[in-house]
Chain A
Amino acid sequence: MNIELILFGAFALLTLLSAGTVIFARSPINSAMALVSTFFFLAGLYVLLWAHTVAVLQVMVYAGAIMVLFLFVIMLLNLGESPTRGRPTLARIVGGAATLGLLVVLGIALSKLPSGPPPSLGVEGQATFGTMATMGQVVFTQWLLPFEAVSLLLLVAMVGAVVVAKSRI
C-alpha cells in the first residue's frame, strides 16, 4: 500500500463524513463545526494534489474568516435546534431525487475517465508547482485584471454587508 493512497482514503472518508454531518445535524452550530472539519480535511486533500498555497488559503480564509462569520451570526441570532424536521414537501422530495440523479450521472460520466495515475511533475515541477511564487507569477501576469476585479468585489461586499445588516443607517 502506498502512503499517498492511504492518506487519500482517510481524508476522503473524513471529508464525506463531516459533510454528511453538516447536512444532517439538527443544530446549526453542529453544522458549522462539522463544516470547519470538512475544510481541514479538504486542505489535506489539496496538499496531496500539490496545491500547498491553496491549502493554506483554505485554512486561513475558510476555516478562519468565513467560519468565524458563520458562528458569529449563529450566536447573534441565538438559533437553537430546529424543533421539527418539517414535513417533506413535494419540492424537497423532487429536489432530493434530482440530486441523486445528478450523482448517478456524474458517477457514470467520471467512471469513463482514464484511471491511470497522473503524470509525474518531474524534479523541476515538484520544486515549483503549487508554490506561492508560481501562483503569484500567474496571478500578476495573466490574471491581473480579474485579481483587481476581485479586490473591488470584496470591497463592495464589505460595504454592502454593513449596509444590509445595519438596522438604521
Chain B
Amino acid sequence: MAAQVVAREAPNRPMVPISYYLLLAAALFCMGMFGVMVRRNALVIFMCVELMLNAANLTFLAFARMHGDSVGHVSAFFVIAVAAAEAAIGLAIVIAVFRSRGSVLVEDIRTMKH
C-alpha cells in the first residue's frame, strides 16, 4: 500500500503555491460580486451567488491543503449543502415572483405587496 503510494506520487514536491489558489478564488469572488451588482435578471444573480460560494469553497480547500487539515474539506461540504438549500428556496421565490408580476428583472420588483 505504502509502496504503491510512493510509486504513484513521484518525489517531486507540489509546485503551485497556495497563494495562486487564493488569488484565483479572490478573482472568482469578485467576478461573482460584479455579476450580482450589474446583472438585472434574478436567475443570473443567483448563478453569480453560486460563483461566490464556489470561490469561498476554493479558499477553504486551499487552506486545508496548506495546513494538511481535513476541517476545511468539511466546511466546503457544509457550504455545498447550504448552497443547495439556498438554490431551492431562491428559485422557488423567483417562480413565485414571476407568477405574480410576470418578470424576473430585479428592477421590476419594487414592492413587497402586490
Binding site for B on A (CB under 8 A): 2, 4-5, 8, 12, 15-16, 19-20, 22-23, 28, 31-32, 35, 38-39, 42, 45-46, 48-51, 53-54, 57-58, 61-62, 65-66, 69-70, 73-74, 76-77, 79, 82, 86, 91-92, 95-96, 98-100, 102-103, 106-107, 110-111, 113-121, 123, 125-127, 129-130, 134-135, 137-139, 142-143, 146-147, 150, 153-154, 156-158, 160-162, 164-165, 167
Q: For residue B26, which residues in chain A have a CB less than 8 angstroms away from its CB?
A: 103, 106-107, 110
* Contact present for B84 and A66 (CB under 8 Å): yes
A4: contacting residue among B15, B66, B104, CB under 8 A? B15
The 10 A-B pairs at the shortest CB distance, nearest first, are namely A95-B37, A157-B85, A165-B92, A161-B92, A106-B26, A164-B92, A103-B30, A23-B35, A2-B15, A161-B88
* Contact present for A134 and B70 (CB under 8 Å): yes
The 0/1 profile, CB within 8 Å of A marked 1, for residues 76-90 of chain B is 111011111111110
A to B CB contacts below 8 Å, 19 in the list: A8-B21, A22-B35, A22-B48, A49-B21, A54-B57, A57-B77, A61-B84, A70-B43, A73-B95, A77-B98, A77-B104, A115-B19, A121-B68, A138-B71, A154-B84, A161-B91, A164-B89, A165-B92, A165-B96
